[in-house]
């Protein structure tokens, strides 16, 4: 009899633990987040720490101090936070795996989304197959389309994109610039001549 009661109690405890964990949660803006989903970290609101993203240190949850803006966070567990976000929305705590560092973090998801510390629905590219254009390619295209001559200013700009240290040396020393001028002029000419304007490829500039 005692063994049966003990087994029954264990079953209730296990069931309670399972029920406390959810496989999905609907946040206040209507977005549904599921275990296994990838969300993104937002900007750190101050130079010190995030306010809604926590890390376990010992037995305590502490504000996470590293800047992980736009890092991918895999949702590995969802739990009821035991409080309400609004009268109709319960707050949930997400345990996530920060993919770049491998750290496990804890997030009160509604608070985090409201404060911009988490992006639940990362922006989708309008043209997923678009090829990104680098700044040096944009320079070459602009010169070719507008039929502009290559000047020292444009060569220096190309150098600044390719090699910051060399750019500083060229700005400070004319002889340094003249020693690499022909090399970078040829690079720019080749990019202008080799760009294919006849393809149906869609191009997109990287966000600043």
- Angstrom distance (rounded) from CA 116 to CA 85: 16
Query: How high is the pLDDT of residue 180?
Result: 96
76-85, 116-125, 181-190: range with lowest mean pLDDT: 116-125
- Angstrom distance (rounded) from CA 176 to CA 169: 7
Choosing from 86, 119, 152, the residue where a domain stops is: 119
Residue among 115, 131, 122 nearest 73 (CA) = 122
Same domain, 112 and 155: no
Same domain, 93 and 56: yes
Q: State yes or no: pLDDT of 139 exceeds 50.
A: yes
- Angstrom distance (rounded) from CA 42 to CA 22: 24
In a domain, 77, yes or no: yes
Give Cβ neighbours of residue 170 (< 8 Å, ≥ 6 apart).
156, 159, 176, 177, 180
Average pLDDT over residues 154-168: 93
| End-to-end Cα spacing for the chain | 70
In a domain, 42, yes or no: yes
Q: State yes or no: pLDDT of 101 exceeds 50.
A: yes
Range of the domain at 167: 131-205
What is the tally of structural domains in the chain?
Answer: 2
Q: State yes or no: pLDDT of 79 exceeds 80.
A: yes
Do the Cβ atoms of 185 and 154 come closer than 8 Å? no
Query: How high is the pLDDT of residue 195?
Result: 78
In a domain, 4, yes or no: no
Query: How high is the pLDDT of residue 196?
Result: 72
């Amino acid at each position: 009899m005692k063994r049966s009661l003990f087994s029954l109690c264990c079953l209730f405890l296990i069931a309670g633990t399972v029920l406390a964990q959810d496989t999905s949660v609907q946040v206040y803006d209507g977005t549904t987040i599921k275990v296994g989903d990838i969300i993104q970290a937002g900007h750190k609101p101050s130079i010190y720490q995030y306010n809604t993203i926590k890390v376990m240190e010992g037995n305590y949850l502490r504000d996470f101090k590293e800047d992980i803006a736009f890092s991918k966070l895999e949702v590995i567990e969802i739990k009821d936070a035991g409080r309400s976000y609004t009268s109709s929305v319960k707050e949930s705590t997400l345990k996530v795996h920060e993919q770049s560092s491998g750290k496990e973090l804890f997030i009160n998801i509604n608070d985090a989304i409201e404060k911009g510390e988490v992006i639940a629905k990362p922006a989708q590219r309008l043209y997923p197959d678009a090829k990104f254009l680098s700044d040096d390619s944009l320079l070459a295209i602009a010169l070719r389309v507008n039929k502009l001559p290559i000047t020292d200013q444009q060569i220096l700009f190309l150098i600044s994109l390719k090699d910051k240290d060399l750019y500083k040396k060229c700005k400070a020393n004319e002889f340094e610039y003249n020693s690499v001028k022909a090399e970078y002029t040829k690079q720019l000419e080749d990019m202008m001549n080799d760009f294919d304007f006849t393809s149906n490829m869609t191009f997109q500039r990287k966000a600043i």
